Amino acid sequence: MNNSQTQAIDLQAKLFRGFGDPSRLAILEILRSGPLTVGEIVQETGLSQSNASNHLACLRDCGLVVAEQNWRHVTYHLSDDRVGELLELAESLLSDVARGVYECTRYALPRGKHHEDSEKVNEYQTT
């Protein structure tokens, strides 16, 4: 593999790290339905305001979301339709491989997520 291929792979890995955090993924998922303020994102996700703001800053810095000042409020939306399309593609792929992803011992699940994720696997397999 040459240097430019290695750099491209490293960049893709960095992109997917943006999707790899459950809180950031939750934010991206809810932004699929349209623009929201930080307060609305906090209400939808249950994250604290500071936590949501930190994740939004990360997503903005990575180019996955755009922030727009609307008088007193900042509204966030997905930067590109392809972000939503990638999330849809992930859902589609999970419908076929959810059990393997769930049972994979090489990726740790966050604490307390085992039962919840087990139910999600069953949901993906029945859709």
Domains of the chain listed by start with CATH number: 1-79 (1.10.10.10), 80-127 (no CATH)
Of 15, 14, 11, 5, nearest to 82 by C-alpha is 15
Band (71; pLDDT cuts 50, 70, 90): confident
Distances from the Cα of 23 to the Cαs of 6, 49, 56, 80, 82, in angstroms? 28, 12, 10, 19, 20
* pLDDT mean over 95-110: 82
pTM: 0.80
Q: Which pLDDT value is given to residue 41?
A: 98
Task: Say how far apart CA 4 and CA 8 lie, in whole Å.
Answer: 6
The alpha carbon of 28 is separated from its chain's Cα centroid by a whole number of angstroms, namely: 5
Q: Using the structure block, give the residue that is written with the tokens 């999707």.
A: 19
Band (120; pLDDT cuts 50, 70, 90): low
Q: Which pLDDT value is given to residue 98?
A: 86
The alpha carbon of 108 is separated from its chain's Cα centroid by a whole number of angstroms, namely: 17
